[in-house]
Amino acid sequence: MGVVLAITNQKGGVGKTTTSVNLAASLAATQRKVLLVDLDPQGNATMGSGIDKNLLGNSVYEVLVDSRTILESVSQTEVSGYELLAANVDLTGAELELMDLDRREYRLSDALSVAKQRYDFIILDCPPSLSLLTINGLVASDAVIIPMQCEYYALEGLSALINTITRITQHLNPDLKIEGIVRTMYDPRNSLTRDVSLQLIDHFGDKVYRTVIPRNVRLAEAPSYGLPVLHYDKRSRGAKAYLALAGEINRRYVDSGAVPALGVSKVGQ
């Protein structure tokens, strides 16, 4: 049974979609069967995976609103190694349409209940807001990964997100937990970055991943080519960082028995 991980932060611009796409690609490179679900109407994870959001057939919209199955709606990414449940602007209308549907907070969870048997990891790229789409993502998830920059305003956003997760666990998904916090756009030369990083570690302990994601031009360039950075420049610092993050996540879930132990990646060898 696959592990469902929501990548979310209510503050925008923290590397949420970058983390979703590149973590999915890096987990796939470690021989995991991975599904990436784009829950953001902007469709950035879709475009960053090399799929034209304007030419979609079935998408996450059809899954949520029309009860299409996951397996008949996924797109195959050509080189990235994972499968994609894509999104485009149609998803904006899903917010209103979901309001009138039965089990509106559980639509994605219900759809994933069968698909989870097919994948080791299911990564959900959630919108940067507390919408019904985000609630569907959190209700469907086993755990949350929070990407955040080490800056003052990011700490305020983190507090709001933790309150949201607490409300979800109290009312909709009692098993939801925080899997980890990943520090993104990390610049060790910046004293504020170091100070906020230390505060995170003091408060959250081993919930903060050891791996940090650096500021890296290759990470910024890769989406314009429709590629994860691992397949754009596998020797870049960004690619190496996301492979290291995938390794941490793999080890945690292998140690807990949630996923089986598998071989190491052949990428870059």
Spatial neighbors of 100 by CB under 8 A, at least 6 apart, are none
Question: Which pLDDT belongs to residue 137?
Answer: 97
Question: Which pLDDT belongs to residue 266?
Answer: 44
60-112 pLDDT tens trace: 999 999 989 998 899 988 789 999 999 999 898 888 899 888 899 999 999 99
**What are the beta bridge partners of residue 75?**
84
pLDDT exceeds 90 at position 184 = yes
Q: Is CATH 3.40.50.300 what the domain over 3-255 is classified as, yes or no?
A: yes
* CA 136 to each of CA 3, 32, 118: distance values in angstroms, whole numbers, following the listed order: 16, 24, 20
pLDDT exceeds 80 at position 203 = yes
b vs e for 31-42, b when ≥16 Cβ sit within 10 Å of the residue's Cβ?
Answer: ebbbbbbbbbbb
Closest CA to 121 of 34, 27, 26, 251: 34
* CA 177 to each of CA 10, 101, 147: distance values in angstroms, whole numbers, following the listed order: 17, 27, 15
CB 146 within 8 A of CB 11: no
